[in-house]
């Protein structure tokens, strides 16, 4: 639970959103934060099926042929986060915290730890035991990796974030080596017999994010996004 001394963090719930539109929005909000204006913002959403490739990624970890990807309507988008290739799609809760990390310890390892902690605590509410793996990012379970972490930071302002597998279509993971890992499976909450909605998981995750980061989440309506970006002159889409 956030305390009375908590900082304000805007909460933006976008629903199903194309990846590039969400990435552009993060960049715009982070630009405002780097200028010393605006508030920290947590974006929670779900993506259309897409693969993203981080700065240290290798095309060798995309197992599907270009023809297979084209036939399935899938893109591989190179992005400015750490890590290798990962999948985003329906049934996966994705979070993009755009935070000025100078107010959250100014330590990238600690920031990654805090994101993992949010997910570990959220899963615990469903009776799922999860943990960190030495030398690897993300959140793990006895059945495999259930959440991925990939961040980008510029002038101590973060973009990108995490994805939690609630009940995604696992076929999409079979076309890649998720996060470049070949010898460990991907897990979902459904694998543990949890039949729930993204909205329910999101609500629990919001509470844990507020507690771990000691922030008060203040919802912003989607049609009020311009409040987050004072100089903005066009809509996201």
Q: What is the pLDDT of residues 159-171, one digit of tens each?
A: 999 999 999 999 9
In this prediction, residue 57 carries a pLDDT of 83
* Residue-range domain boundaries for the chain: 7-48+88-168+183-227
In this prediction, residue 181 carries a pLDDT of 84
Q: Which of 141-145, 158-162, 164-168, 177-181 has the lowest average pLDDT?
A: 177-181
In this prediction, residue 56 carries a pLDDT of 82
- Residue from 5, 9, 179, 224 carrying the catalytic annotation: 179
Distance in angstroms (rounded) separating the CA atoms of residues 202 and 68: 32
179 is catalytic: yes
In this prediction, residue 183 carries a pLDDT of 86
| pLDDT bracket for residue 12 (50, 70, 90) | very high
Percent of the chain with pLDDT over 90: 80
The predicted-structure confidence for 62-95, as pLDDT tens digits, reads as follows 999 999 999 999 999 999 898 889 999 999 999 9
CATH of the domain spanning 7-48+88-168+183-227: 3.30.930.10
| pLDDT bracket for residue 16 (50, 70, 90) | very high
In this prediction, residue 43 carries a pLDDT of 98
Provide mean pLDDT across the span 25-36.
95
Residue 210 has pLDDT above 90, yes or no: yes
Distance in angstroms (rounded) separating the CA atoms of residues 201 and 208: 11
The predicted-structure confidence for 34-44, as pLDDT tens digits, reads as follows 999 999 999 99
Distance in angstroms (rounded) separating the CA atoms of residues 66 and 68: 5
What is the overall mean pLDDT for the chain?
92
Distance in angstroms (rounded) separating the CA atoms of residues 75 and 53: 10
In this prediction, residue 234 carries a pLDDT of 42
| pLDDT bracket for residue 182 (50, 70, 90) | confident
Provide mean pLDDT across the span 139-157.
96
Provide mean pLDDT across the span 167-176.
95
What residues does 48 pair with on adjacent strands?
A: none
Q: What is the CA radius of gyration of the chain?
A: 17
In this prediction, residue 186 carries a pLDDT of 96
CA atoms within 13 A on the CB side of 9: 30
Percent of the chain with pLDDT over 70: 92
């Amino acid at each position: 639970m956030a305390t009375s001394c908590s900082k304000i963090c805007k909460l933006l719930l976008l629903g199903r959103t194309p990846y590039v539109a969400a990435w552009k929005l993060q960049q715009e909000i982070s630009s405002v934060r780097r200028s010393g204006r605006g508030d920290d913002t947590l974006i929670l959403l779900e993506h259309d099926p897409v693969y993203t490739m981080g700065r240290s990624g290798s095309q060798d970890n995309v197992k599907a042929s270009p023809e297979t990807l084209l036939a399935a309507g899938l893109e591989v988008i190179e992005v400015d986060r750490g890590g290798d290739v990962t999948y985003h799609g329906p049934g996966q809760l994705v979070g993009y915290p755009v935070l000025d990390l100078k107010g959250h310890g100014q330590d990238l390892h600690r920031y990654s730890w805090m994101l993992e902690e949010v997910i570990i605590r959220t899963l615990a509410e469903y009776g799922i035991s999860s943990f960190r793996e030495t030398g690897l990012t993300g959140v793990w379970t006895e059945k495999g990796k259930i959440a991925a972490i990939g961040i980008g930071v510029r002038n101590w302002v973060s973009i990108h974030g995490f994805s939690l597998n609630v009940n995604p279509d696992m076929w999409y993971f079979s076309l890649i080596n998720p996060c470049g890992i070949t010898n460990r499976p991907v897990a979902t909450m459904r694998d543990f017999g949890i039949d729930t909605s993204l909205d329910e998981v999101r609500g629990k995750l919001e509470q844990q994010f507020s507690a771990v980061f000691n922030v008060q989440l203040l919802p912003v309506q989607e049609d009020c996004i311009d409040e987050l970006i004072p100089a903005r002159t066009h809509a996201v889409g």
